């Protein structure tokens, strides 16, 4: 999907991926991200996810990135928060402690612009990007993740003969190959999605499997 298509979806309110509750996988595994008061957490392709607020409650500061400024403003409105707006190059920063919300293409961001993070929460982010963007996306994440930092990621798989995406089907093997030596991948859980969920109904998919991974950034010697 082109950038303009995402922006149009947000303008028109076509956001079936948005959950009106905290993601249950995040609640179950957040402790594995080693969160806390001094921690910096990144939520790439955050939309207006309530997970941002849940992560803020665990302490630390939360940076969300989405192409759509509209999504970020809707999140702030839902939280009844005012933000200071700063335009920095191609990115728009909305600052509202403990949140830094950045309207930008995630693939263009660097550690100089957004800093480095102790943890990353990826729900419907890698799988929202087309395959050609997967390697650049993982490179971006690893460039801003501290050594030993952790990514909690929800992957999704389905029969690709039936649908192309988004969301795109991404296997454990692809995730391991994308990370190579720079991250250790641990499968924490996997589960078939309820057939009544929008992802199954909207795309007429008989099965969809979600898998939760904990990725730990290795240092230069390949240690975690
Ligand atoms: C499937 S939604 C998921 C939103 C959120 N993670 C959630 O769980 O509700 C994907 C989001 O990624 C954003 N997006 C797509 N491509 C992007 C890119 N290259 N950089 C930043 N955001 C992007 C879209 O605007 C959309 O809000």
- CB of 30 closer than 8 Å to CB of 60: no
Model confidence at 198, pLDDT cuts 50, 70, 90, reads: confident
pLDDT of 222 over the 70 cut:
no
**Does any ligand 1 atom lie closer than 6 A to the CB of residue 153?**
no
- Going by DSSP bridges, is the β-strand pair 99-103/61-66 parallel, antiparallel, or unpaired? parallel
**Does any ligand 1 atom lie closer than 6 A to the CB of residue 214?**
no
In this predicted structure, what is the pLDDT of residue 3?
95
Residue that the structure tokens 């930092």 belong to: 149
Q: Which residues pair with 156 in a beta bridge?
A: 210
Beta strands in 10-164 (DSSP E): 40-44, 61-66, 84-88, 91-96, 99-103, 117-123, 145-158
Q: How confident is the model over 12-46, as pLDDT tens digits?
A: 999 999 999 999 999 999 999 999 888 999 999 99
- CB of 39 closer than 8 Å to CB of 60: yes
In this predicted structure, what is the pLDDT of residue 220?
62
CATH of domain 19-42+52-64+105-217: 3.40.50.150
> Ligand 1 pocket check: which of 45, 50, 129 to mutate, most ligand atoms within 8 Å of Cβ?
45
From ligand 1's centre to the CA of 66, what distance in Å?
6
Cα separation, 107 vs 144, in Å, equals 12
Cα separation, 203 vs 163, in Å, equals 7
In this predicted structure, what is the pLDDT of residue 224?
66
Q: How confident is the model over 74-130, as pLDDT tens digits?
A: 999 999 999 999 999 999 999 999 999 999 999 999 999 999 999 999 999 999 999
Name the pTM for this structure: 0.96
Ligand 1 atom with minimal separation from the 106 CA: 20
Nearest CA to ligand 1 atom 9: 18
**Does any ligand 1 atom lie closer than 6 A to the CB of residue 71?**
yes
Q: How confident is the model over 141-197, as pLDDT tens digits?
A: 999 999 999 999 999 999 999 998 899 999 999 999 999 999 999 999 999 999 888
Ligand 1 atom with minimal separation from the 6 CA: 25
Model confidence at 49, pLDDT cuts 50, 70, 90, reads: very high
Going from N- to C-terminal start, the domains of the chain cover 19-42+52-64+105-217
From ligand 1's centre to the CA of 124, what distance in Å?
7
């Amino acid at each position: 999907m082109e950038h303009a298509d995402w922006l149009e979806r947000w303008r028109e309110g076509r956001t079936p991926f948005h959950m009106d509750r905290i993601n249950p996988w995040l609640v179950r595994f957040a402790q594995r991200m080693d969160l806390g008061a001094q921690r910096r957490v990144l939520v790439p392709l955050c939309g207006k996810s309530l997970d941002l607020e849940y992560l803020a409650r665990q302490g630390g500061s939360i940076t969300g990135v989405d192409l759509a400024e509209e999504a970020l403003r809707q999140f702030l409105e839902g939280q009844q928060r005012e933000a200071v707006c700063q335009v920095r190059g191609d990115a728009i920063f909305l600052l509202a402690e403990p949140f830094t919300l950045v309207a930008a293409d995630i693939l263009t961001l660097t550690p100089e612009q957004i800093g480095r993070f102790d943890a990353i929460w990826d729900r419907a982010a890698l799988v929202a990007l087309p395959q050609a963007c997967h390697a650049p996306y993982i490179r971006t994440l690893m460039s801003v993740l501290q050594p030993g930092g952790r990514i909690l990621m929800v992957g999704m798989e389905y029969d690709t003969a039936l649908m192309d995406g988004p969301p795109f089907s991404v296997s454990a093997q692809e995730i391991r190959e994308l990370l190579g030596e720079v991250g250790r991948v641990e499968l924490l859980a996997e589960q078939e999605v309820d057939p009544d969920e929008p992802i199954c109904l909207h795309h007429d998919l008989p099965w969809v499997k979600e898998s939760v991974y904990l990725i730990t950034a290795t240092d230069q010697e390949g240690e975690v």
